[in-house]
Chains A and B, each alone.
Chain A
Amino acid sequence: MLSDALLKKLRKELGQENVLTSDEELVCHSYDATLIRSLPDAVVTPRTAEDVSKVLVLANENAIPVTPRGSGTGLTGGSVPLRGGIVLCLTKMNSIREIAPADLLAVVEPGVVTGELQRKLEEEGLFYPPDPASLEISSIGGNIGNSAGGPRGFKYGMTKDYILGLEVVLPTGELVKTGARTVKCVTGYDLARLFTGSEGTLGVITSAILRLIPVPEERITVLASFKRLEDAASLVSEAVSAGLAPSALEIMDSVTLSAVKESSGLNSPEGTSAVVLSETDGFSEVAMKEAQKVRELSIKNGAISVQMEKDKERREKLWAARRGAFAALARKKPTTILEDIVVPRTKLVEMVRAVAEIGRRHQLVIATYGHAGDGNLHPTILCDKRDEDEMRRAGSAAGEIFERALDLGGTLSGEHGIGFEKARFLKKEIGEAGIKIMKRLKDSFDPKGIMNPGKMFE
C-alpha cells in the first residue's frame, strides 16, 4: 500500500531507524490487549512534532491510513491498524518537558509512561490522579486518547479532568495549540476537551499540559465484607448520599473473590459474597473521620467484618489484592474479555445480577468487579480463544451486557473507549443524530479520513 518512493521519502525525512517495515516489526504493531489483529504496512516512530507533521502531510497527500499508538495496551482495538497503512508509534517521544510545582502543572510528551510520571511528580509533592490499571506501562498519549480513568475516578475524575492544554498535529500537518497554562480558559471552543477521548480519529497529540494537585497528607483503606451483594451496594449508595467522597470505592463479586482468595492475602470471613474496598484521603483528620464514617455505614449495612488500615504496607496489600483481581481471573482461563460498562449507582445491584444471569444462560464464567463509586463495572468473561463455540457465546454475552447497561440508563464505556469493539453499539447509545454530528466533526478535521479509520464509527 505504501509505495517505495513514499517509504524512501519517509526514511529521508525521519531517519532510517524511525521507519520500520520488516515483517517482524509489523507483527509487533498489529495488536493491542484485545483479540483484534491487523498488520500495518509500516511503523513510524517520530521524535518530534515536526516529524509527526511530516508524516501526516505525506499520508494525507497519498490517502494512507494513520493509526496513532502509544504502549498498545488499549482494550478496544483502538490502536490496531485495521486498514493497514502507517502505525504512528509515539513511544520514543517520551520526555517530561516541565514540572512546575508553583503553577501545579506538568508539560509532557505523549510517550511518557503514566506511572513513571506519577512517581516523578510524587517526589515533588505533586499528584496526577488518573490511575488506569495499566498505568505502569500505558502512556499519557494513549490515556488522553481514551480519557482513561481508574479507581480514583469517583473523587478525582478521569484524564479529561486534568488536561489544561494540548498541542495537536492535524492531518493537514498544521500544529494546533489549544488550552492554556492556566486553570481557567474559555477562549473559543474547548478543543482540548474534544481531542481528549477522540481515540486518534482527529489528529495526533504531541504534547500535553497536565493539571496537578498536591499529594494528600494521609490515605486510609477500609475493607468491608458482606454476606449479600445488596448490602455491599447499599453501603455504596449510602456513603455517596451521606456526602462522603472516598478517593476509591471498589466492589468485587463472589466469582472475583473466589479467584482472588486463592492468590492473595485478602482475608474475608467465611460466607462473604461481596466486598467493598474504599480509600479516604486528604488531611489526616479528614481522612480519618471519613474512614470512620465508612466503617459505621458498613456495620449499619450488615457488614460481617470491617478492616481499616493506615499503614502504607498493609494498605498496599489490600490494593494489591484488588489490582490482582484481573490477574487471578486471567489465570483461570487462557482468554479474558474485559468489559467496561457504567450504570447509574442506583442500578448497580441490578446490573451485577444481570451479568451473573447472562453468564449462566450462556454457560460462561463472568466475574464482576469495578469502581462502584461511579457505577463503572468491569464484567470479565473467562474463555478460551481456541474454543469457537465458547467464543461465540462470549460474543453474544458481551452484546447482551451492553444492551442491558444501556437499558438501565447507563453507557457503553466508562474509561476504555469505543475503538473497534464497541463501534457497532455506538448508535444505540447516541442515536442517529449523534453519530451524524460526530461524523461531521471528524470530516472537518480529517476530510480524507486518514486518521485511525474503522474506529468509533461502523
Chain B
Amino acid sequence: MQYPHISAHSEDIVRCIKCGLCKSVCPPYLETFVESEGARGRVALVEALQDGRLTLSHILSDRIFTCLNCKACVEACPSGCNVDDLVLSLRAELASRGKIGLIKRLVLNDIVPSRTKLDLAVKAGSVFQRFPGLFSMLGLDGEGGFPKLQGRSFIDSHRPGRRVRNPVMRVGFFVGCGTNFLHTEAGEAIVWVLERHGCEVIVPREQVCCGTPVFNSGEFGTGRKLAERNLEVFEKAKVDAVITGCGSCGLTLKKEWHEVLGVDAREFSNKVYDFSEFLVKELKLQKPRRSFLLAVTYHDPCHLARGQGIKDEPREILKNIPGVNLVEMRESTRCCGGAGTFAFTWPELSRKIGSRKALSIRDTAASMVTTSCPGCYLQLRRVLRANDIEMSVKHVAELYASAL
C-alpha cells in the first residue's frame, strides 16, 4: 500500500531515535501511561503502517486522533523529529480513503467551508441549545459540555464605521470561527483596541474558516480551498496587515497553509500578526487610563507559544496595565486539553488534561486567568467550572480594552 502523505515525511520517521523524551511532555500519555497514546508510540505506529506491518484500522485511527497537536513533543525532541507533521500525514491518509466518520466528513467538507451554511448551522444549534433534551439527543452535549453558541455571530453583528482619522495603518481582522461564534466579546475588544491605537480595521464579511479543524482532521483538500478563498478575500481588502486573536488561526495563516497544505501564501503570511504581537511590535502600547488591583495569570495557547514563539508579548500587554499583577502558573505552556474539537470528540481525556491545568491556575491564587485563543478560553471556563474553581476567564484583549 502506498501512503503518499506519509512518504513526504519519511525523513521524520527515520529521525525518531525512540529515546522517549517526548512522552514526558505528551498530555494524553501523562494521563493514560499507555505507549500508543503518546508521541513516541504514534511515530512507531506511522512507521509500522509505512512498512506494511499495520493497516489503517480503527484502533490506529483512534490513537492518531488522541493527539492534541500541542507540539510539546516537537519542542522536546532531541533529534528534531516533526511528530506533528507525521500525525497530520496519517490523518490525511485516513481522510483520503474516506475513513473519517460520515457526519464529521459532512461538517468538515460541506458546512465549515461555506459561510452561509455554517452561520445557519450555528443559528440552528443555538436554538436547539435552548432545549437541552433535543441537543443531547443529537449527541452534542455530553461530558464535554458543548459551548454556548451565540445566535448572532461577530461578523454578522459587527458594524464597520467608527471612523479613525488619519489612520496609521489599514488592517484586516481575521476573526476565526471561535471568536466569531463563541467568544464575540474578544472580537469586539480586539477591534476596539486596534482602533484606539489608530488603525482602520476592516472585517471582510466573506472570510471563511482558516481550515485548522479541517486539515487537522486530515481533510487537506478542503483545507486548501479554505486557504485560497481567504487569500482571495484579504487580497481584495487591500490591507497592510492581518490581525488575529486566535493562536491556531495565526499559526495556520502564518505557516500551515504553506507548510502543511502547500498553498503558496508566503507573501500574505508575512503580513499576519497575532493581536499581542502586532500591538507590542508594530504599534506603541498605550498606557491605560484605568487601573485595577488584580492578580492575573496567563495561559499560553500551544499554537501561539510553540507554534509561533509568542510568549512575551501577551505578558507585556498585561504588565502594562496599571495595578495588574501577573502571577505565573506552573507549566503555563502545557496544553489545556481543549485543542479545538478534541474537547467534544474525546471529552473524558480532555477533561483530565484540563483538570491538571485548572489546578495549576487555582494554585496561583489569581482572580483572573487570561489567554490568547478562543479555544483555550472555552476549555478553561469549562474545566475551572468542573473543578469548582471560581475565576473569570478573559482574552488578553478584553482586559486591556477594559483598562484603556
Contacts and interface: CB of A to CB of B under 8 A. Distances in A.
A94 B79 CA distance: 28
A25 B23 contact: no
A100 interface: no
Interface string A319-352: 0000010110011001110000000000000000
B352 to A, nearest CB: 14
A134 B21 contact: yes
B79 A24 contact: no
B19 interface: yes
A33 B19 CA distance: 5
Given A94-B33, A386-B14, A27 B20 contact: no
A137 B14 contact: no
Interface string B1-38: 00000000001001101111101100000000111100
A32 B18 contact: yes
Interface in A381-398: 384-386
Contact of A31 (B24, B34, B44): B44
Interface residues on A, range: 35 or more
Contacts of B59: 22-24
A385 B57 CA distance: 28
Contact of B45 (A28, A134, A324, A384): A28
B53 interface: yes
Contact of A336 (B11, B17, B20, B54): B17
A124 interface: no
A23 B53 contact: yes
Contacts of B20: 33, 71-73, 134, 137-138
Contacts of A327: 78-79
Contact of B24 (A30, A89, A92, A137): A137
Interface in A60-119: 71-73, 89, 91-92, 94, 111, 113, 115
Nearest to A337: B17
Contacts of B11: 334
B247 interface: no
A32 B41 CA distance: 11
A291 to B, nearest CB: 29
A24 B19 contact: no
B240 to A, nearest CB: 36
B290 to A, nearest CB: 35
A138 B24 CA distance: 9
A311 interface: no
B258 interface: no
A115 B21 CA distance: 12
A371 interface: no
Contacts of A138: 20
B44 A28 contact: yes
A20 to B, nearest CB: 8
Given A28-B45, A385-B14, A92 B33 contact: yes
A330 B79 contact: yes
Nearest to A72: B20
B48 interface: yes
A136 interface: yes
B23 A137 contact: yes
A24 B33 contact: no
Contact of B19 (A25, A27, A73, A385): A73
A224 to B, nearest CB: 25
Nearest to A43: B35
Contacts of A24: 36, 45, 54, 57, 59-60, 63
Contact of B53 (A27, A71, A94, A137): A27
A89 B23 CA distance: 15
Contact of A137 (B21, B36, B41): B21
B19 A91 contact: no
B21 A29 contact: no
Contacts of B17: 33, 330, 335-336
24 contacts: A23-B57, A24-B54, A24-B57, A25-B34, A25-B35, A25-B36, A27-B54, A28-B36, A29-B35, A31-B18, A32-B18, A33-B18, A71-B20, A71-B23, A72-B18, A72-B20, A73-B19, A91-B35, A115-B24, A134-B19, A136-B21, A137-B20, A327-B78, A334-B11
Given A34-B18, A384-B14, 4 more contacts: A25-B34, A28-B41, A91-B35, A334-B11
Interface of B: 11, 14-15, 17-21, 23-24, 33-36, 41, 44-45, 48, 53-54, 57, 59-60, 63, 78-80
Q: Top 6 closest A-B pairs, CB basis?
A: A327-B78, A330-B79, A137-B24, A136-B24, A91-B33, A28-B35
